[in-house]
Structure 1
Amino acid sequence: MYKLICFDLDDTLWPCMPTIQFAEQTLYNWLAEFKPEIVSAYSIDQLRDKRKQLTRLQPELIHDLSAARRVHLKQLATETGDTDEWVETAFDVFYQARQQVTLFDDVLPVLSELKTRYTLVALTNGNAHISKTGLSDIFDFQISAADVQAAKPDPAMFYHAMEKAGVNQTQTLHVGDHPLHDIQGARNAGIDAVWIKRFDQIWDIDEPEVDRQFVNLHQLNDWLSASS
């Protein structure tokens, strides 16, 4: 029945928080060396809170997290009376570290098998990229929130993936960890969804809980094989 399977990235294919913490610490270390006035004024936690406040004040930045981090760094440059010539270098320090992910053990064996039977597409609200994380040979393409200027659960990414793959809703399945962004997002686009519960997360939205729930991708593969 399915021809296209869309996969979320963070917390579906690798743990998100350790990756982000490593990237932010790498950037903070760079700032300590090259822009010590910023580190003198803010702890790493204060910088994180300051960036979150920025996206609350400018919610359009939520759809492009790379742009949000650049704006944040430019604000810090202005606060310290500095030019922003260093911002792109600093962002790249963060961005390259952000791509250093540790895949869950089931990712490569399962996706390598699924690739022989389905079109695989990565959908993400974040700024990880398959070309940087060692998955470009697995996925046919990637779509991010920045590409469509809309983050899940908005259906725009799903619609764009189906259009690009040349399939319809009944031929599409989405796999992700987040009840709102992934499961409700897929529902908003009229497609089936599988909830990956690696962390025994709770269903925290006021919508009916999804029927298909697995703790790893091996279970997903078994279900797909039995259903085909």
Structure 2
Amino acid sequence: MRLLHRRSVVSAPQARHFRHVPRSLHGRCPVTVRAVTLDLDDTLWPFAPVAARIDAALEGWLAEHAPRTAARYDRAVVAEALAAVRAERDHLAHDLGATRRAVLRRLLDAAGEDPALADPAFAVVWAARQRVELYPDAAGALDRLAARVPLLAVTNGNADLALTGVARWFAGCVSAQGVGVGKPHPRVFEVACARLGLPPADVLHAGDNLDTDVRGALAAGLQAVWVQRDLPGDAPGDALGVRDLTALADLVEQAA
């Protein structure tokens, strides 16, 4: 495992021999981390397999229960329906479930089938969305992190902590749907810090997306770590990069 600094590379075993983190976040040394906020999709689990399961489950359900809709269901048709829903109902922008149901109603209606079928169709989507497979490093790292500091999920998605099986590690979840705006908007991070009862400078946010997670957290005054996995490049500004969640746990154990 490698703990990546934006100018240096330090292996996780080497990092354990540092008295403090090699370089402080926000220029402070030693770093103080009193809580960690974590992104979910592509940070705790890969999202591509989830998306594939959603598509397969929905297409199978439509083929059985709404065959005319299934016959015209393709990426272009869905994209057109999604654009129309967003144009008509911009207040749903951060409510992925309501947006998906509205798209399904539009598709069903356009095919001459009952729009009420959108609800059972969405139930299939929802169930598939919650079937996740954690990265191999995730469970052990979450055990270590949760033993050290409070963890709060901060997500633009609609994964359910209980249904995905990760609730035992988290004190709760702040979502774009609940706040009304998504990362990187500072309001999301402000709500997370308020939920934790901590100033932003004492909270570390970690996620896979440079813009929504890393730059968003830094702009809101949090410390930030980019969970890179196989992504190339350097973490921006005062952020640090880690190869995976094991390296993140190494970092937090030194800083908490």
Q: What's the TM-score once normalised by structure 1's chain length?
A: 0.91
CA distance in 1, matches of 2:85, 2:151: 31
Instruction: Give 1:25's aligned residue.
Output: 56
Pick aligned residue for 2:202 from 162, 167, 171: 171
User: In the alignment, residue 92 of structure 1 is paired with which amino acid?
Assistant: A
Q: How many residues align?
A: 224
1:188-227 → structure 2 map (5 Å cutoff): 188-201=219-232, 208-209=236-237, 211-227=239-255
CA distance in 1, matches of 2:103, 2:86: 12
Identity of aligned residues (%): 33
1:156-167 → structure 2 map (5 Å cutoff): 156-167=187-198
How far is 1:210 from its partner?
A: 5.0
Q: In 2 relative to 1, CA 185–131 (structure 1 residues): closer, same or farther, beyond 3 Å?
A: same
Pick aligned residue for 2:110 from 79, 83, 94: 79
**In 2, are the aligned partners of 1:51 and 1:69 still within 8 Å (CA)?**
no
How far is 1:52 from its partner?
A: 4.5
Which structure has more relative contact order (CA 8 Å, sep 6+)? It is: 2
CA distance in 2, matches of 1:50, 1:32: 20
How far is 1:87 from its partner?
A: 1.2
SS at match of 2:217: helix
Q: In 2 relative to 1, CA 165–211 (structure 1 residues): closer, same or farther, beyond 3 Å?
A: closer
SS at match of 1:131: helix
Which runs of 5 or more residues in structure 1 are unaligned? none
CA distance in 1, matches of 2:143, 2:69: 44
CA distance in 1, matches of 2:222, 2:85: 29
Pick aligned residue for 2:172 from 141, 148, 155: 141
Pick the structure with greater CA Rg.
2
User: In the alignment, residue 247 of structure 2 is paired with which amino acid?
Assistant: Q
Q: What's the TM-score once normalised by structure 2's chain length?
A: 0.81
Greater CA drift, 132-141 or 81-90: 81-90
Q: In 2 relative to 1, CA 134–154 (structure 1 residues): closer, same or farther, beyond 3 Å?
A: same
**In 1, are the aligned partners of 2:33 and 2:252 still within 8 Å (CA)?**
no
CA distance in 2, matches of 1:50, 1:210: 40
CA distance in 2, matches of 1:184, 1:54: 30
Which runs of 5 or more residues in structure 2 are unaligned? 1-31
Q: Does residue 93 in structure 1 map to residue 121 in structure 2?
A: no
User: In the alignment, residue 219 of structure 2 is paired with which amino acid?
Assistant: N
Instruction: Give 1:108's aligned residue.
Output: 139
Q: Does residue 53 in structure 1 map to residue 69 in structure 2?
A: no
